[in-house]
Copies of this chain bind each other. A is one copy, B any other.
Amino acid sequence: MKKAGILGTGTVGKTIGKKLIQLGYEVKMGSRTANNENAVEWAKLNGEKASVGTFEDATKFGDVIFNCTKGEITLRVFELAGPDNFKEKTVIDISNPLDFSQGMPPFLTPEYANTNSLGEEIQKLIPDANVVKTLNIVNCEVMVNAAKSGGDPTMFVSGNSVDAKAETISILKQFGWDDIIDLGDITTARGTEMMLPIWLRIYMATGNGYIGFKIIR
């Protein structure tokens, strides 16, 4: 049976974790403590294939790891999980380096934007793992069900490993994504992370968060 580790116990982690269980994965949700309330409640709702543990436990458990943490704590979480534990694993990074300190809309944390990205920083921290940036440009219900946007939107993947991207694309297809563009190496995550500002402003202008980006071409 395929095993996935989820880093983070927020709505994104819970939604991705539930979907992976529906797809037949065993899933361990990791957090700072081994008995995080959110994680325990999520596991109870998701049957025997769901379990909980620390970030380190979830990382050791999974063949594929989903980073569903908030951007502001992401790098600290990878430190806590133990960089060596990610070796040769596919790490699907959904995080965004958003800074909400000045209210809505957040801006991107300047040191991880424009000439850098959070995806790249994660890859630097775990050089023996294969980071793939994807899914960060839609809300979590659309992540696991692309049609929830109301159409057939485009999804992007960025990463240095062709194999890890192929594995990610296979999961994305099971999430309902049919139109996927491989942008290239992990530095192309700069492009997708910089889509958050337009996502936020479309959401603020229309009140609709169930949107997707279709690249017409």
Interface, chain A (partner B; CB < 8 A): 107-108, 110, 113-115, 149-153, 156, 181-184, 188, 190-192, 194-195, 197-198, 200-202, 204-206, 208, 210-217
Contacts and interface: CB of A to CB of B under 8 A. Distances in A.
The prevalent SS among residues of A at the interface is mixed
Contacts of A156: 198
Given A210-B217, A216-B151, A197 B205 contact: no
Contacts of A214: 213-216
A26 to B, nearest CB: 33
A216 B150 contact: yes
B206 A212 contact: no
Copies in the complex: 2
Contacts of A181: 202, 205-206
11 contacts: A110-B110, A150-B216, A153-B216, A181-B202, A181-B206, A191-B197, A211-B217, A213-B215, A214-B214, A214-B215, A214-B216
Nearest to A182: B205
Contact of A184 (B195, B197, B205): B205
B201 A188 contact: yes
Nearest to A184: B205
Contacts of A115: 107, 110
Nearest to A189: B201
A208 B154 CA distance: 15
Contacts of A153: 216
Nearest to A211: B217
B198 A149 contact: no
Contacts of A182: 205
A217 B197 CA distance: 17
B201 A198 contact: no
Given A110-B115, A150-B217, A152-B216, 15 more contacts: A107-B114, A149-B217, A182-B205, A184-B201, A190-B197, A190-B201, A191-B197, A194-B195, A194-B197, A195-B195, A202-B215, A211-B217, A213-B213, A213-B214, A214-B216
